[in-house]
Amino acid sequence: MRRKLTAYWLGRIGYDAAHRLQQRLVEARVAGRVGDVVLLLEHDAVITLGRSAKADNVLAADDERAAKGVELVETGRGGDVTFHGPGQLVAYPIVDLKPDRCDVRRYIGDLAEVMVRLAKDHGVAAGVVPGDSKLVGVWVDEAAPSEWDEDRARDASIGVPNGARLAKIGAIGVRLSRWVTMHGFAFNVSTDLSGFDLIVPCGIRELDVTSLARLGVAAPSIEDVARASRRHFADVLDADVVEADPKDLDASIRAA
C-alpha cells in the first residue's frame, strides 16, 4: 500500500525553531495524530553536533564563530559535526517506517538515493561509497563529476592513487523513535562552502565538501530543488506526495 507523504516548504528557518517543530511532529506521529510529513527548508548558518561528535572537530573558536554569525547546537541525530547554511536544501522526513520499512540501513539508503537523483537532475553523477561506514552520505568525483564509479570511489577513499577526487555533496544524520524518523539530509546546492572550514565535516579530514555550484552548475533556487525532491521522495519511498501550506500545520504542533 502506498504511503501518503505531506510536504511543507518552510523557506529559511533557524535551527532551533525547526528542531522544536520536528520534536512536536514526532510526538504527534508516534501518537497517530498526524500522518507522514517531510519538512523542506534551508537554515541560517549553524554548526550541529551529532551524538558521536568529537569536540576537536569544531575548529573555530567561539569568538570566530560569533564574528561570522554561526551558531553551535548540540542535537540528537546520529553522526559527527556538520554545517548548515543558506544555499543548502535540508529535508526532515517525519515518517513512520512501520510496518514494511523497519530497516535503518534501507532508510539511510533511501535518503541517499533522493540526493543522488537531485544531483542527476543537474547532470552530476553522485553515489555512495561502499564498504566504509564513516563515509555515510552522497559523494561525487570532482575529477569527473559526470561519472560515478563505486569501485573507483572506494579505492580513492582508502588512498589508492587513481586520480579521483572524492567530495561530499550530501550529508545524512537521522534519529528514530519507535520507528518514526527525525532529522534527515542536507544537500549542497549553492552553499558557501567556507562554512565547512570551521569544522572537520563529519569527522573526515582527508576528503572535501562540494556543491552543485562548485561543480559548475548554474544553481537553481532552494525552493526549486525542494519542489524536485518531492518527486524523488515519492518514487523512492513509494509514496503519494502532496504539497501543503505550512500554515495548515496544527497550530499547537507548529508553535515555537
Burial grade of 98 (CB within 10 A; 0-12, 13-18, 19 or more): exposed
Q: Which residues, 6 or more positions from 97, have their beta carbon under 8 angstroms from its beta carbon?
A: 103, 107, 176, 179, 180, 181
Paired with 140 in beta bridges are 167
Indicate which residue of 202, 215, 222, 241 is catalytic. 202
Q: Within 13 A of 243's CA, how many CA atoms are on the CB side?
A: 10
Alpha-carbon gap, residue 129 to 138, rounded angstroms: 8
Q: Is 202 a catalytic residue?
A: yes
Q: Is the dihedral of CA 52, 236, 8, 68 positive or negative?
A: positive
Helix (H, G, I), strand (E, B) or coil at 13: strand
Q: Cell 548554474 maps to which residue?
A: 218
Residues labelled catalytic: 202
